[in-house]
Every structure is written in C-alpha cells, then in structure tokens.
Amino acid sequence: MRLFDSHSHIQGREFAAGLPDVLARATAAGVVGVAVCGYDPESNQAAIALAATSPQLFPTVGYHPHDANEVTPAALAELESLARRPEVVAVGEIGLDFYRDLSPREVQRRVLNEQLGIAVRVGKPVCVHSRAAEGEIYEHLTMYAGSSPLRGRGRPVGVMHCFGGTLEQARRYVELGFVVSIPCTITYQNNTEARRIAAGLPLSALVVETDSPYLPPRDLRGKRNEPANVRAAVEGLAAARGIAAEAAAEATTANACQLFGVSIPVKAGAL
C-alpha cells in the first residue's frame, strides 16, 4: 500500500526528539510521500530544511490566519521568494479562522488575499485552512481559482485541508478546482459528515492527511499524531465508499502527486 500524507507539521518542536523513528514507522506503514507544511517564518524555514533530507518530503510555505496580525509587507516579500523555490510545492497553510479569531477578521482577509496573489504569481497550489468561515472563504477562493494558471494545466488549484464543512459545500470547492483532504478524524464516531464527504465526492477529488501532531485517529486520541497514521484516514475513506483500502490508497496518492506536481518513484525509498 502506497500512502501520501498531504498535510503535516513534522518540522515542529513536537517532533524534535525521535523524528527518525517517526519516519521509519511511516515508511513501514507504506507512506511514500509527506507534505511538510509551514505556517509562520520559522516553520517555513524548518519545512524547507527538513524536506531537503529526503526526496519524498515536500515543503509548503505560508502564514496561518492565527498570526495574520504579525504579517508585514517584508514578511510577504520573504514568503514569495520562498514560494518560488523549485522544491516548494504549495503556498500554505493559509486561510481564515473565525472560530478562534486570534487575528482580526479584516486582517485575516487581507493576508489571505495577499497570499492567494503569491500563489497565482508563482503558479503553485494553495493549502487552505478554513474554520467557521466556509461560507465567506468561498468568495476569496473563487476569485483565486479564476486567476490560477494551474486550471489551464489540468491541475488542482489547491486543497481544502481538514475540511470541516458539509458535503454540499465541499462539492462547490471541487467545482472550483480544489481537492478535499480527509483527516484521521474520519474515524470518530460522531464525524458522520466527514464520511458523507468521503463517500459523496468523486474519488479523483480526495486526498488524505494527518495534520500531525494534531488530530490523531480515534484509537490514539490524546496522543501525538504522526504520518504513519494516515493509513487510518485511508481506511476510513475506503470504508465510507465501500471500496478496498488498497484502491483508496493508490487513488489518494496519485491525487496528492497531481496536486503538488510531484512524482514518486515506483520503487520508493525510505522517507
């Protein structure tokens, strides 16, 4: 089974100890690719540095909406130059978070739009964080999708990470050219909407993720999540659709490669 974790933060301090073991467990579980997602200046640099250690780790760079208030024009210029680097596969995570509201909403909107502009200019997809903002962020992403050069190339314009909306909302993002990412929380008993989304969208529009160290699967609640557990998201997705886990793994891995514009060798090495 070949698995691709489309969203993780394994460059963070939660993984400072024992990262080689984490990567070895992921390899043993069949993980052949991991996106390492930045969210502030330090984590962006750390994502690029960590990804340089393996051709199967893929860095993304962006400023999280929680910290939007601290994003200066100089920081945006810095982000654009990082986003242009050939090894960087996406701009993100970026978005709106009206649940925690850690930065003023007006500032979140402005910083999101600045970063969507960077993604258009560098011609890379976006990793979108949206919490309690699924209605409003749609307007921003519609404008973005209309100008992204990726659409004309037949590639996804981005990924809705840990999508928390409804199946009906998810379909509208797929129409815009986004793929939707299913996290390990699909295994939670009360998460019926995630299973509806996994069953109701075309398989070609789905990827899986861990969001490590957050959002562990049901059986590991309260523990640090890690890329090996992406298997639980694939199994949850496969069960929701009534297909074999192997088929779900192959499809979501191919979709993640298409999203990020990368390829994994048939005989993939260890992470």
- Residues in contact with Zn ion by the rule CB under 5 A: 211
Q: What is the DSSP letter of 186?
A: G
**Encoded amino acid at 128, one letter:** V
Whole-angstrom Cα distance, residue 79 to residue 49?
A: 15
* Structure tokens belonging to residue 192: 């019926």
Structure tokens at 136: 């409003």
64 vs 241 by CB, closer to Zn ion: 64
Q: Pick between residue 134 and residue 211 the one whose CB is nearest to Zn ion.
A: 211
CA distance 241 to 237: 6
Q: In angstroms, what is the minimal distance from the CB of 136 to Zn ion?
A: 20
**How many CA atoms, within 13 angstroms, populate the side-chain half-sphere of residue 238?**
18
CB nearer to Zn ion: give 169 or 212: 212
Cα distance between residue 156 and residue 149, in whole Å: 10
Q: How far apart are CA 79 and CA 62, in angstroms?
A: 7
Residue 37 CB, nearest approach to Zn ion (Å): 6
* Closer CB to Zn ion, 56 or 181, in the complex: 181
Give the residue nearest to Zn ion (CB): 211
User: Would you say 47 or 238 has its CB closer to Zn ion?
Assistant: 47
Nearer to Zn ion, 97 or 235 (CB): 97
Q: How far is the CB of 7 from Zn ion (least distance, A)?
A: 6
Specify the residue, 211 or 235, whose C-beta has the smaller distance to Zn ion: 211
Least separation in angstroms between CB 85 and Zn ion: 20
Q: At its nearest, how many Å lie between Zn ion and the CB of residue 212? A: 9
Other beta carbons within 10 Å of 123: 14
Q: What SS3 state is found at 164?
A: coil
The whole-angstrom distance between residue 98's C-alpha and the CA centroid of its chain comes to 19
How far is 165 from 180, CA to CA, in rounded Å?
A: 11
Shortest spacing between CB 40 and Zn ion, in angstroms: 12
Q: Report the nearest approach of Zn ion to the CB of residue 83 (Å).
A: 17
DSSP element (H, E) containing 167: helix 167-176
H/E segment holding residue 127: strand 126-131
